[in-house]
Amino acid sequence: MRYLTVQDFGTWLGVEGARLIVRDREGRILEESLSRLRAIRIEKRGVSISSDLVLECAARGIRIFFIDWRGHSVSTVINPKNQHAVVRVREAQFMCFHSPMAAELSAEIIRAKVRNERAVLLYFAKGMRGRSDDRSEILSAAAGQLKDNAERIADIAPQGTDSEGDSWRGRIMGIEGISASIYWNALAEAGLLPESFTKREGRGATERTNASLNYGYAILQSYVWAALDNAGFELYEGVLHTDKPGKPSLVLDFMEEYRAWVVDRIIIKLRGVIGTGYAVLDPRLRRRIASEIDSAMQTVVKKGGSRVKLENLMQRQAYRLSGAVVGQKKYKGVSFSW
């Protein structure tokens, strides 16, 4: 167990020696070595956690995330002493994100996002080939459009505004929005999303697929948060998302590359379990989604001639982004093979 998710009211978390102890209201106990733990996610009110456990987690670099009922991370407990010497990285981050290089980084992040949306379409199209219906063709045609859009993003220049007065950020987000519409519409038309899914909805969504996606993104966010924090970044200074109090803009930027392949693909696979309509996600379903995403982050992928766990690949990408902002190397987004 690398990530523990706590979702039941009345649960108690403590520590004995070097072991995590978890008791529910019925007294059932889970024990796990702290050396095997990377993070704890608490998703329910009424959960008790001992100060001894907080101190042990801080000493070992184990993050504790508090997630609200909407699936949003509202608090994170970390030990600043476990962070790297971050002054140089953060100084470079602020300068970089307010320079022409911001356009290059933003374009690369969204280009990778669109490419991975395309990979998801082709992944499911591959499984539908040979059927009598045209669902595979629907997905393949949309994938072709996304390929063209990814190439358009790569051509966006940072200088000033275009003839219509749009900044580079507006042009990137415009193509991203069009691509998202193509992507979700294709998934719905191919029957991979239920009839209750009429459009992609974010915060506060009650439709089951949208709510499941939002919850999955919250799980993904805990991984992205840890990777960027390890690399020494200021998480609230974004390159693409706007800065707002309490908004971890850089986390939202960086996770764009992983949303489709890590979360969307899993939610689509679980569509039979998730069901249709409007209802609050029950704890059993939330546990299933969290477990599937945690498992996906431990899968081995091929990148750069080597095989690496997805969680470790994300960490490498965070360090590559750090190298880019300090001027040591060029950042290249991660694209998944379908």
Q: In degrees rounded to 5, what are phi and psi of residue 75?
A: -160, 150
The SS3 assignment for 86 reads coil
CATH T-level assignment (fold) for domain 87-325: Four Helix Bundle (Hemerythrin (Met), subunit A) (1.20.120)
Distance separating alpha carbons of residues 138 and 192, to the nearest angstrom: 12
pTM for the complete prediction? 0.84
The string of pLDDT tens digits covering residues 19-40 is 999 998 888 788 889 988 888 8
Task: List where CATH 1.20.120.920 sits in the chain.
Answer: 87-325
Residue found by looking up tokens 């200021």 in the block: 234
Low-confidence residues in the chain, pLDDT < 70: 1, 69-73, 80-86, 132, 157-166
Furthest CA-CA distance within the chain = 67
CATH 3.100.10.20 in the chain is located at 3-82
Q: Is 44 strand, coil or helix?
A: coil
Which secondary-structure segment (H or E) carries 288?
A: helix 283-297
Q: What was the pLDDT predicted at 327?
A: 83
DSSP SS3 for 61:
coil
CATH number of 3-82: 3.100.10.20
Name the DSSP class of 282.
P
Q: Is there a contact between 90 and 232 (Cβ–Cβ < 8 Å)?
A: yes
pLDDT at 45: 84
DSSP 154: H
